[in-house]
Amino acid sequence: MLFDRDGTLIQDVPYNGDPARVRLMPHARAAVDAVREWGVPVGVVTNQSGVARGLLTPGAVEAVLRRVEQLLGPFDIWAVCPHVPADRCGCRKPAPGLIHAACAALGTDPRGAVVLGDIGADLAAARAAGARGVLVPNAVTRPEEIADAARTAPDLLTAVRGLPAGAGDAP
């Protein structure tokens, strides 16, 4: 099970490098705990272009990741893209690279992965990787992203509860 970070697990604070500004999204802890209870590996896939833009240092990104883990417990994998869109890398969502990297590190086939995110790029990355995606909209999710999503849920816990137990480990 792979979660987007900003706007999905934690409130989206643009280019946040300050752990003190990390706030969980509603039901994030319960959703992550439920997945862990299934025995399914849990990871995070996140674009962090603030690094390439010079707005964040890798150390600041790492400090925020550590804070997220203080609040939610340890994740099995963190896959982070530090690039800007102009870099045309294969890891920046909506490209599938982060999902492929996370699944490889977890020893699982992307076709058995579920990606939970708040914007269309998260779901596009899931589709491109062969994974299933669930959109958990928030105030910045565009209406067309919601309309295009094959599966949506009003919050993370509902999204997780709507999946079969162990959903992240079988195609």
| Residue 76: active-site member | no
| Residue 109: active-site member | no
Q: Which helix (H) or strand (E) holds 59?
A: helix 58-72
Unique residue bearing structure tokens 């390439």: 52
DSSP state of 56: S
Identity of the residue numbered 55: L
Choosing from 6, 12, 155, 169, the catalytic residue is 6
Q: How far apart are alpha carbons 162 and 153 in whole angstroms?
A: 8
Q: Give buried/exposed letters for 69-84 (b at 16+ CB in 10 A, else e).
A: eeebeebebbbbbbbe
Choosing from 4, 18, 122, 169, the catalytic residue is 4
152: helix, strand or coil = strand
Q: Active-site residues: which are they?
A: 4, 6
